[in-house]
Chain A
């Protein structure tokens, strides 16, 4: 599959490595080229500097032919906006969006966005650990 990931932080870079090992074609998009240092050595995908809320940058990243778009920057609103562009403007079939704020995650999930809140998930994990 062709996958575009916006945000090359720890999660983005690690996820890109996993996807590549599984044989997928990965393009990373980040506003800061320094963040590409996190990509695993021998990464064969593309790494582009650009802002994912800009349609031109998304086009350069090949969004028009992408099967999956994943938004993983630090900014909830940036992820939300980029995901909606991918879905509504470019018609990407599968769009996954990270939203830290649980309330916003719930709202956008109801609006039809596949949204994940690491905050809720991690808090649940901690709770389970403590309750053992």
Chain B
């Protein structure tokens, strides 16, 4: 794939390095000449000096044939404009923006950016995973489908411990996919499966049903 990365800072640099290793054609657009030189010395001539928000620069690097543009500068507004110019002027099929302010996610989606990545949110999710008492952990969002994969842990003494799955009413559109049980192989949930304390249940759900799902599985 031909992937254009806007911003040659730390994020852009390591992203380019990883994608080059996977065999992709990579081009970094970077405003600063010194940053550009460093990248070119270390990764080979893949950095082009220019403003990734300018249509003329994007035209020079053949954005029209790019499969993807990833904007990872430190400024949300620059990342938004780079993605919008790529999308509307050059019809790039996939645009991805890094965002600093998590509340910009909704706006960026509304304005046509395909994927947003908020480092703040990523770290928050990681923290949630590390906190053992956290009742529901977000594992993966299924983009554009309004679904997500979450993990629900059954605590000691929960009202649902010892109950069979057929006796538990789940919210509509929720699917239990896997039960990870201590010292056992993961098992596929069946109506007769009995819940045990410390079970980790992997569930596909609609984000709006999270609370109801948690209550159904944990009894509170």
Which A residues fall within an 8 A CB radius of B?
A: 53-55, 75-78, 80-81, 84-85, 88-89, 101, 103-104, 107, 110-111
Give B56 Cβ to nearest chain A Cβ, in Å: 6
Total A-B pairs, Cβ < 8 A: 48
Per DSSP, chain A at the interface is helix
CA distance A84 to B76 in the complex (A): 13
Given A81-B80, A107-B88, A101-B110 contact (CB < 8 Å) = no
Closest to A54 in B: B101
Q: Classify chain B: how many residues form its interface, as a range.
A: 10 to 19
CA distance A55 to B88 in the complex (A): 25
For A84, list chain B residues within 8 Å (CB): 80, 107, 111
Q: Could you pull out 27 A-B pairs where Cβ atoms are within 8 angstroms?
A: A53-B76, A53-B77, A75-B77, A76-B53, A76-B81, A77-B53, A77-B75, A80-B80, A80-B81, A81-B76, A81-B80, A81-B81, A84-B107, A84-B111, A85-B107, A89-B107, A89-B110, A101-B54, A103-B56, A104-B53, A104-B55, A104-B85, A107-B55, A107-B84, A107-B88, A107-B89, A111-B88
- 15 extra A-B contacts, CB within 8 A, seeds A84-B107, A111-B88: A53-B76, A75-B77, A77-B75, A77-B77, A77-B80, A77-B81, A84-B80, A88-B107, A89-B107, A103-B54, A104-B54, A104-B85, A107-B55, A107-B85, A111-B84
For B110, list chain A residues within 8 Å (CB): 88-89
